[in-house]
Structure 1
């Protein structure tokens, strides 16, 4: 029985593109692998504290950090909803990363997390794709790629990126609605396919 660790960080519980896509992923995962287990953390509904002196000093001896690290260690796959806020990840997701990354325990050379597949749904209100005017303002994919590969040595990392999520609410973006809908549809398809393939592989 494979375990999926699912983390959402979108501020709004309703209407969130990242939550929509992660829910598609989880549904597909469970359809393919009904006996699988999903461990869920909603960082907006139940935010974690920021890393402080006591937690930083204690490392894996800190109860909350140990709990989070154990959840990660027990996961056969990790799914993270990481919408863009002010060009980067939500502070709640940063808090989770600061607490769960423990040097000498699960981070660094020969990290036990290195072989765990990670899927990140990196939704964003505009477009920050290569070649766009705001390409160099993108600090969600860039940051998470660096931290997950650099701290955990993750070798199986995939991003699903629904773009232009503000097109339906920002008048100046109205003409981009068809592109936004196409991006959301592709993200849902990618999430479904990725979850099926991953569940199948891990259940084998």
Structure 2
């Protein structure tokens, strides 16, 4: 049985969030294709993980016998998150753009699971695990657009998830999500609708492909 680690980080609930809507579609397809599988779910907006502290960070570079009680307690939280990542056969992350970057709650999760000598380094413990990131954004930051240089979501996540943690990274990018809410973007609504449709199609297709690959 395959295990999916599903992480949402949008501050908006349910269908009000583009990233949550698309990750939900992916997960529904995953569960339909693999009803005997397991899903580990973390809603980082509703239940944020602690931001990294000196104790949590330094404990990762100390042997268990050297750790203070405070270090041990803080590190136990990190270990639980790391083990969830290591046990997952696939990872699904909702990563909406907040002020040109990822939500701080998602950064806190990444800070906890990135541990040199275990999940990062010469032989990352989750290396090769497929991860699908739904990177929604209110505008467009695609190459050639005026705000191309403001895109710090995909670039950052590629550096951390792919190049540091060694995960097999794929993106779904619903864009122009502010068009229906912003009168100044009204003429972009058809492009938004096309992007949204494509994102749902990609979510369904990628979920089917992954379940087929992992349960073959």
**Which bin holds the TM-score, normalised by the shorter protein?**
over 0.9
Report the alpha carbon displacement of residue 3 of structure 1 after superposing the two structures with TM: 0.1
Match of 2:64 in 1: none
| Mapping for residues 69-108 of structure 1, pairs under 5 Å | 69-108=82-121
What do the CA deviations read for 1:4-63 (whole angstroms, capped 9, x no partner)?
000000001130000000000000001111111110000000011110000001128511
Report the alpha carbon displacement of residue 152 of structure 1 after superposing the two structures with TM: 1.1
What SS does the aligned partner of 1:50 have? Answer: coil
Q: Distance in 2 between matches of 1:153 and 1:42?
A: 23
Does the 8 A contact of 1:4 with 1:77 survive in 2?
Answer: yes
Does the 8 A contact of 1:109 with 1:153 survive in 2?
Answer: no
Q: Say whether residues 1:58 and 2:59 are aligned partners.
A: yes
What SS does the aligned partner of 1:151 have? Answer: coil
Equivalent residue in structure 2 for 1:148, among 153, 158, 161: 161
Match of 1:200 in 2: 212
Structure ID, larger Rg: 2
What is the root-mean-square deviation in Å for CA atoms of aligned residues?
1.0
Report the alpha carbon displacement of residue 195 of structure 1 after superposing the two structures with TM: 0.2
User: How high is the TM-score relative to the length of structure 1?
Assistant: 0.97
User: How high is the TM-score relative to the length of structure 2?
Assistant: 0.92
Q: Distance in 2 between matches of 1:109 and 1:146?
A: 15
Q: Say whether residues 1:119 and 2:128 are aligned partners.
A: no
Q: Distance in 1 between matches of 2:144 and 2:29?
A: 33
Q: Distance in 2 between matches of 1:113 and 1:135?
A: 31
Q: Where does the alignment leave 5 or more consecutive residues of structure 2 unmatched?
A: 62-71
Equivalent residue in structure 1 for 2:185, among 133, 149, 173: 173
Runs of 4+ in 1 over 2 A off after TM superposition: none
What SS does the aligned partner of 1:175 have? Answer: helix
Match of 1:138 in 2: 151
Match of 1:8 in 2: 8
What SS does the aligned partner of 2:60 have? Answer: helix
Q: Distance in 1 between matches of 2:162 and 2:37?
A: 26
Q: Distance in 1 between matches of 2:189 and 2:37?
A: 37
Report the alpha carbon displacement of residue 150 of structure 1 after superposing the two structures with TM: 2.3
